[in-house]
Amino acid sequence: MRVPVSAGFDPDFDDAVWTLDWLRIPVRQVPVGDYEGGYRVVREFVEQIDVFGRPYQLDPPLDVRGLYDPAGVLWMSDTPQERMMMYNNAGRSQGHVLVGGAGLGLYPQYVADAASFTIIERSPIVLKLVGPMLQEVMTERGVQLRFLVGDVETYLARAEPGGYDTIFLDTWERLDAALLPSINRLRDLSLRHLAPGGRVLLWGYRWMVRLFEEACATLLSMPPEEREPWLAEQQPANPRAVALLTPIADAFRGRTIQRWELDEAVRYCREWVRQVTA
Ligand SMILES: C[S@@+](CC[C@H](N)C(=O)[O-])C[C@H]1O[C@@H](n2cnc3c(N)ncnc32)[C@H](O)[C@@H]1O
């Protein structure tokens, strides 16, 4: 199976790549304090933290802000890993930029070459928290900033095709391969809104595809008769992952994959999962 290569989206772009360049760009952070509705922003000076699964030592310690919801659960934070991924996406961004959602406002601050930002954010709380800070930064830079409260998918599905040079989406809370069908749908909707030469960027996309490839390799390395029982075992804890792997099990039904055939089989999985939409 060949995936049609879209000019506006590079599925091989990996934003989970180590860099320290983000340290050279000062970012304004959400102010510490108690906010409406029981939300809180807390500061922590971090000396050591994992980035892409490896420990990273910070000297001097880094001021990291965490946004806690009214139940006291950490919702978002501007950790080094988050900053690296935002920085890597920002490096590919330029012109008129559509962003979904605002988060802690990191990504727009790393984009050096923006003409305007349109940020669609579902949470009015987040906009209240981040909006004034981001507005200040963009006014200083002379960059136009527009906020819309709402669901980015609804916007992409309904709005007249826009002429954005960059569309950056980061509305999912975790990197999970099971989310790929819905993220692919967002990607396809976004492609309609690109100006010629424009680009869609999706936080953690290559990482999530990699997770799927790993799951596929595990599945297909098994003797064919063991695959269905293994999937049934995973079902209660991870039904969405099983739903995504079942078509792969079907495609390779009865076929033993020798070690030297595994790369080719995983390539099939990669191309398949880039296509599938919810
Ligand atoms: C991880 S944060 C984004 C981080 C951000 N890129 C940054 O630079 O800090 C995800 C944001 O998307 C918002 N969000 C989640 N689902 C959304 C949706 N369907 N439409 C618009 N915003 C959404 C959340 O409220 C949250 O502010």
For residue 4, what pLDDT is reported?
Answer: 47
| CB of 204 closer than 6 angstroms to any ligand 1 atom | no
For residue 257, what pLDDT is reported?
Answer: 96
242 CB contacts (<8 Å, ≥6 apart)? 231, 234, 235
Q: Which of 171, 183, 201 to mutate to test the pocket of ligand 1 (most atoms within 8 A of CB)?
A: 171
- pLDDT tens track, the chain, 278 positions: 334 447 899 999 999 999 999 999 999 999 999 999 999 999 999 999 999 999 999 999 999 999 999 999 999 999 999 999 999 999 999 999 999 999 999 999 999 999 999 999 999 999 999 999 999 999 999 999 999 999 999 999 998 888 999 999 999 999 999 999 999 999 999 999 999 999 999 999 999 999 999 999 999 999 999 999 999 999 999 999 999 999 999 999 999 999 999 999 999 999 999 999 98
What's the Cα-to-Cα distance from 172 to each of 75, 111, 143, 205, 259, rounded to whole Å?
Answer: 12, 21, 26, 11, 35
Domain ranges (residues) in the chain:
21-203, 207-275
**Are residues 102 and 127 in contact, defined by beta-carbon separation less than 8 angstroms?**
yes
For residue 161, what pLDDT is reported?
Answer: 87
Q: Which amino acid is at 26?
A: P
Whose structure tokens read 């997770």? 211
CA nearest neighbour of 269 among 229, 216, 219, 230: 216
H/E segment holding residue 144 = strand 144-149
| CB of 106 closer than 6 angstroms to any ligand 1 atom | yes
Crossing angle (nearest 10°) for helices 239-251 and 205-221: 60
CA nearest neighbour of 8 among 246, 223, 188: 188
For residue 7, what pLDDT is reported?
Answer: 86
Overall CATH class of domain 21-203? alpha beta
What's the Cα-to-Cα distance from 35 to each of 42, 68, 130, 253, rounded to whole Å?
Answer: 11, 10, 12, 55
Q: Which of 85, 122, 130, 183 to mutate to test the pocket of ligand 1 (most atoms within 8 A of CB)?
A: 122
For residue 247, what pLDDT is reported?
Answer: 97
**Are residues 84 and 51 in contact, defined by beta-carbon separation less than 8 angstroms?**
yes
For residue 5, what pLDDT is reported?
Answer: 45
> How far is the centre of ligand 1, averaged over its atoms, from the C-alpha of 226 (Å)?
40
Maximum Cα interatomic distance, the chain, rounded to a whole number of Å: 63
SS3 readout for 25-75? CCCCCCCCEEEHHHEEEEEEEEEEEEECCEEEEEEEEEEEEEEECCCCCEE
H/E segment holding residue 146 = strand 144-149
- What does pTM read for this prediction? 0.95
